[in-house]
Chains A and B, each alone.
Chain A
Amino acid sequence: MSQNLVILCAAGMLVTAYLMVGQKALFVAIRLYGLQSILLGVVAVAMAFTDHRPHLLESAALTIGLKGVFIPWFLMRTIDRIGIHREIEPFVNTPSSLLICLGLTVVGYRVSTGLAAGGEGAAHHVIGVSLSMLLMGLFLMVTRRKAVTQILALLTIENAVFLVALGATSGMPLVVELGISFDVIVAVLVLGILVHRIVDRFESMDVSRLSKLKG
């Protein structure tokens, strides 16, 4: 039963990653990231109970509280403050992005079967989903124009790495968990400030303008 829950939530994370690629409203993308993190938390909770790894509960609480609630709130506040155009403008159009992500998912799934733990059962799906999400995160990062969307892509990659850690290992010790969480917070805060600076200087979040010498 809880095996099914794990797979269901992992699949849900893949769907949210997919929806993130497929739609254009910035706020929806942020909410999707929050939902994805909450699903990740549920995966951790389910694994804590099935495999009797109580320390996973703490990282689940951290994931839900920090990545599911705090970071989305912080990002939305940042966007509200700088008052930018709330639409994602990708370099690659949506249908092509979706097709490419489709291919990336197939690659991620295929690769996961080569891993020792990824051959079969729930671990196969968890690792397959996380590798696909990792690739999709990388793809989002190189094809998105706005700094905030690139932060979201980075956070998606981070979620994917956490999920692969859950699926392939018996979970990381709490100290490492805490370290990673603080890294993520600091990264988001710093990137938030960076976004402010970029907008101040260039009156836009479009990072492609950074490569021009004149504004």
Chain B
Amino acid sequence: MSGWTHVASSTPLSLARSFAFGLLQAAVLLAVAPLLRGVIKKMKAAFQTRQGPPLLQGYYDLAKLLRKEPVRSETASWVFVAGPRIYFATAVAATMLVPVLFAGAPLEQAGGILVLVGLLALGRFTLAIASLDTGSPFGGMGGSREMTVAALAEPALMLGLFTVALWAGSLNLGDLVRTTAQRGPSGHPSELLAAAALFIVLLAEAGRVPVDNPATHLELTMIHEAMVLEYAGPDLALVEWASALKELLFMTLLVNLFLPLGLAASAAPGAIAVSGALYAGKVFFLAVAVTLVESTNAKLRFFRVPELMALSLGLGFLALAIRFL
């Protein structure tokens, strides 16, 4: 426990302690991620005056899937088996690079923004090639769609993150959050533009409505669901869990980069409680925003998605350009 106090003063933790802290943070986020999806589903249902599934449905589903035996196609090779595992592992590794409750990330010495983006890209890539492995047309179609969206979302994500990084003069997420927390709101328009760009990226990466519909299994429209259509049992559970974690990760990134208010500077229980409550509030606020977008917009036709991503990319470029004007 005493090791955590060093996080704020940015003295490097010992490697073992960093790992322990990182694993703990990943475990907490993994435990919370399905709840976030449940909350969004519940709020969406309330919009449609339905009752919706119970908040904990995500956990029941995961438990059920994990108990089942995996069913794999006869033609599936090791790539198919490795896909969900690497996807899950990269998502867990990515959470260790991101500051959540503390003004510092557990493994921040391991890398910053570029490693984070790279890890997420690696996970997506393995899942996409795994979807091609069985030779089913749906998997290939979903994989191709997912990569199309990702290729457009990734530069926008990088531009948004770089805009914030310019303020702190560092690509390290821990440094970044510490600087923004000390300085307070910058009072520069580029911050809002970058936040808007990253919000659109969040919608795309989480497979939310204007880009993808998480609730549908209609073959013609789905993107992520089509890619993982062949998976069953524990394999599917890993994919679902990692996707939920990724969504929470993006929300965490967004709230902590642009509103680092109240992040704990030490491991004192009081500071953690305050930071935890504020974090939950901020993520909930973002979840409400996502729900509003999902409930008031129709899913875009697939060929319109690049236009939305161009908008996000444009906002990112603008944020970066205005920074220098």
A-side interface residues toward B, CB under 8 Å? Answer: 3-4, 7-8, 10-12, 14-15, 18-19, 22-24, 94-95, 98-99, 101-102, 105-106, 109-110, 113, 122, 125, 128-129
Interface SS of chain B: helix
Residue contact A102 to B306, C-beta cutoff 8 Å: no
Is B79 on the interface with A (CB-CB < 8 A)? no
Residue contact B193 to A22, C-beta cutoff 8 Å: no
Within the complex, the shortest CB–CB distance from A88 to chain B, in Å, comes to 12
| Total cross-chain contacts (CB, 8 A) | 71
Q: Give A14's nearest chain B residue, CB to CB.
A: B189
Residue contact A11 to B318, C-beta cutoff 8 Å: no
Residue contact A7 to B189, C-beta cutoff 8 Å: yes
B187 interface neighbour in A3, A14, A105, Cβ under 8 Å = A3
Known contacts A105-B322, A106-B325: does B196 contact A15 (CB below 8 Å)? yes
Residues of A within 8 A of B190 (CB): 11
The 7 closest A-B pairs by CB, nearest first: A11-B189, A22-B311, A11-B192, A109-B325, A4-B187, A98-B314, A94-B307
Within the complex, the shortest CB–CB distance from A135 to chain B, in Å, comes to 13
Is B50 on the interface with A (CB-CB < 8 A)? no
Q: Give B304's nearest chain A residue, CB to CB.
A: A24
Residue contact A15 to B311, C-beta cutoff 8 Å: no
Known contacts A105-B322, A109-B322: does B193 contact A15 (CB below 8 Å)? yes
Known contacts A7-B188, A18-B311, A125-B188: does B193 contact A102 (CB below 8 Å)? no
Provide a sorted-by-A list of 10 A–B residue pairs whose CB atoms are within 8 angstroms: A8-B189, A15-B193, A15-B196, A18-B315, A18-B318, A94-B311, A102-B317, A106-B321, A122-B187, A128-B322
- Complex-state Cα separation, A110 to B306, whole angstroms: 29
Q: Mark B305-323, 1 if CB is under 8 A from A, else 0.
A: 0111011001101100110
Q: Give B187's nearest chain A residue, CB to CB.
A: A4
Residue contact B314 to A102, C-beta cutoff 8 Å: yes
Known contacts A7-B188, A105-B322, A109-B325: does B193 contact A99 (CB below 8 Å)? no
- Complex-state Cα separation, A102 to B321, whole angstroms: 9
Residues of B within 8 A of A128 (CB): 189, 322, 325
Within the complex, the shortest CB–CB distance from A33 to chain B, in Å, comes to 16
- Complex-state Cα separation, A14 to B317, whole angstroms: 14
Within 8 A of A (CB), among B282-318: 304, 306-308, 310-311, 314-315, 317-318
Is B185 on the interface with A (CB-CB < 8 A)? yes
Residue contact A95 to B192, C-beta cutoff 8 Å: no
Residue contact B318 to A94, C-beta cutoff 8 Å: no
Residue contact A98 to B185, C-beta cutoff 8 Å: no
Within the complex, the shortest CB–CB distance from A20 to chain B, in Å, comes to 11
Within the complex, the shortest CB–CB distance from B315 to chain A, in Å, comes to 6
Given contacts A11-B190, A109-B325, 18 further A-B contacts (CB under 8 A): A3-B187, A4-B185, A7-B187, A11-B189, A15-B193, A18-B311, A18-B314, A18-B318, A22-B307, A22-B314, A94-B311, A98-B314, A101-B314, A102-B321, A105-B318, A106-B321, A109-B321, A129-B189
Residue contact A23 to B314, C-beta cutoff 8 Å: no
Residues of B within 8 A of A102 (CB): 314, 317-318, 321
A95 interface neighbour in B189, B191, B306, B321, Cβ under 8 Å = B306
Residue contact B189 to A110, C-beta cutoff 8 Å: no
- Complex-state Cα separation, A22 to B306, whole angstroms: 11
Within the complex, the shortest CB–CB distance from B188 to chain A, in Å, comes to 7
Q: Give A10's nearest chain B residue, CB to CB.
A: B189
Within 8 A of A (CB), among B183-212: 185, 187-193, 196
Within the complex, the shortest CB–CB distance from A43 to chain B, in Å, comes to 12
Residues of A within 8 A of B306 (CB): 95
A105 interface neighbour in B188, B191, B321, Cβ under 8 Å = B321
Known contacts A105-B322, A106-B321: does B189 contact A125 (CB below 8 Å)? yes
Q: Give A128's nearest chain B residue, CB to CB.
A: B325
Residues of A within 8 A of B196 (CB): 15
Within 8 A of A (CB), among B161-193: 185, 187-193
Within the complex, the shortest CB–CB distance from B195 to chain A, in Å, comes to 9
Q: Give A99's nearest chain B residue, CB to CB.
A: B314
- Complex-state Cα separation, A59 to B322, whole angstroms: 29
Residue contact A23 to B311, C-beta cutoff 8 Å: yes
- Complex-state Cα separation, A75 to B192, whole angstroms: 28
Residue contact A15 to B315, C-beta cutoff 8 Å: yes
Within the complex, the shortest CB–CB distance from B201 to chain A, in Å, comes to 14
Within the complex, the shortest CB–CB distance from A117 to chain B, in Å, comes to 16
Q: Give B296's nearest chain A residue, CB to CB.
A: A28
- Complex-state Cα separation, A105 to B173, whole angstroms: 29
| Residue in B188, B191, B311 whose Cβ sees the most chain A Cβ within 10 Å | B311
Within the complex, the shortest CB–CB distance from B89 to chain A, in Å, comes to 36
Residues of B within 8 A of A95 (CB): 306-307, 310
Residues of B within 8 A of A129 (CB): 189
Residue contact A22 to B187, C-beta cutoff 8 Å: no
Known contacts A23-B311, A95-B307, A106-B325: does B192 contact A12 (CB below 8 Å)? yes
Residue contact A98 to B311, C-beta cutoff 8 Å: yes
